Amino acid sequence: MTQSSDPANEQIFSTLVLPYLNHAVRMYEASYATSSDIDAAMQYGCGYPKGPLTVIDELGAATVRDRLAARYAETGDHLHEPAELLEKLATEGRTFAEEAAGGESAEPQLKLDIRKVGVVGTGTMASGIVQVFAQAGYDVVFVGRGEDKVAGVVSSIDKGLSKLVEKGKLDEDAKSDVLGRLTGATEREALADVDIVVEAIAEDLEIKTQLYKDLDRICKPGAILATTTSSMPITKLGEATSRPESVIGMHFFNPATIMKLVEVVTTEATAADVNETVLALCAKVGKVAVSCGDRSGFIVNCLLFPYLNDAVKLLESGAASMDEIDAAIKEEAGFPMGPFQLLDVVGNDVSLAIQRELFAEFNEPGFAPAATLEQKVAEGALGRKTGKGFHDYS
C-alpha cells in the first residue's frame, strides 16, 4: 500500500480500504480467527499482496486509527469507528505482529486415517475438488445424479490433466495414475467406505440437509462429513445427522485446482481431532488452510463484500467514477482488480446474495446492500456471465 500524493486517490483509499482494515481488526479482536489466518485468507483468497493486519502494521496503527477517526467524525457510521484494539496498539506504539507473537499453534497432524475420499456433486467446484485429491494420491469416489454427469466430471479432469501434460507439469503415466484413482457413481451408497465426504452441491439448505441425513445413514462411523458451502449454516447440517462432531466446513475457492485457499469452518459441536485432521489434509493436498467459526461470510466474504458494497455506494455518491475508483484501488492498495471489475467477475447476483446474508447476520446499517447493486441484479446485468454488469462486455 502506498501513500499517495493524489488527494482524490487518497480519499478513495480512505473511503473503501480503511473500513476493510477496521473490519479485520474487529474479526481478530473477537477471536474469530488468528492474525495469520486473516492475512493468509485475504492473500490466497483474493490475491492481495498483503493481508489487512500486515498493512496496518506497515501504515502504523496510529495513522490508520487517526484516518478512521476522521472518517467516523464525517459519517457517524459505527463501522468507521476505530476498533478498540486498534486504539490500544496505536496508544502503545505496538504492532499486530507483536500482539500475535507466540500465539500460533503447531503444525496440524492427521489424527484420523484418511485413505479414501468421497465427493458429492458434478459441477465445476466438485470436479476441481475430485482432481485435487486424486492428484495428491487419494482414491476418490464421486457421486452424480446421472451417468452423463459422472462422465462429464471424468472428461473435465482429463482435459485439465492434458493441459498440465502440454505444459510439462505432468507426464502421461502420472495422468493415467490420476484417472485410475477415480470411481464415478450415481448412487450415494458408493460412499459407504470413504473416510471423508466433501459435499459440493447446490447452495440450498433444504437440499443439503436431505443430503446430510442420507450421508449419516450411509457413511461408516467416524467418517468426516465436510461441506464446501460459502453461505449455509454448517451447524444446521450437523444437526441433521447423529454425528454433529464429524461435520465441518471445507470452503474451497474456485477454481479448486488453482486457488490455494480453503477456509476450514468448525461448529461448536465439531470435534478437535476432526478439525485438526482436515487442516492437515488441506496441507497434504497442497492447500493453505485457515480456521474460523460458523458464521455468515467466514473470513474472506465477510471482509471482501462490504468493501465491494461500499464501492457501489461511493459511485452512487457521485464523488468518483467507476474507472477512477478501480484505478485508485489498484494503484493505492495494490489489489489485483478494482471493485467494479471484481463485482463483474464474481457476479452481481452472487455479490448481492452474500451482502444480504451479512446484513442479516450482523444487523449493521452500513452493510445494507447498495441500491445500484440491487438494481443491476433486477435488470439481469449480472456481470461477465451475462455480457453486462457494471461494465459492458458485449
Measured at the CA of 340, the angle between CA 334 and CA 342, to 5 degrees, comes to 65
Quick one: cell of 100? 500475535
Set 99, 263, 332, 357: catalytic member? 263
Give the DSSP H/E element, type plus range, for residue 69: helix 61-75
Set 9, 127, 230, 296: catalytic member? 230
The answer to whether residue 242 is catalytic is no
| Angle between helix 339-346 and helix 348-362 axes, rounded to 10 deg | 100
Set 80, 251, 275, 291: catalytic member? 251
Please state the three-class secondary structure of 11-63 as a single string.
HHHHHHHHHHHHHHHHHHHCCCCCHHHHHHHHHHHHCCCCCHHHHHHHHCHHH
**Phi and psi of 75, rounded to 5°?**
-105, -30
The answer to whether residue 87 is catalytic is no
How many angstroms separate the CA atoms of 283 and 44, rounded? 14
Residues whose CB is less than 8 angstroms from the CB of residue 256 and which lie 6 or more positions away in sequence, other chains included: 125, 128, 129, 131, 132
How many angstroms separate the CA atoms of 318 and 217, rounded? 56
The answer to whether residue 251 is catalytic is yes
How many angstroms separate the CA atoms of 86 and 182, rounded? 50
The answer to whether residue 23 is catalytic is no
How many angstroms separate the CA atoms of 74 and 373, rounded? 24
**Phi and psi of 113, rounded to 5°?**
-75, 120
Q: Which among 186, 162, 188, 166 has a CA at the least distance from the CA of 175?
A: 162
Set 35, 156, 291, 301: catalytic member? 301
Task: Summarize the chain as % helix, strand, coil (round to 5).
Answer: 55, 10, 30
CA-based torsion, 163, 164, 170, 176: positive or negative = negative
How many CB atoms within 10 Å of residue 32? 17
Which residues are the active-site residues? 230, 251, 263, 301
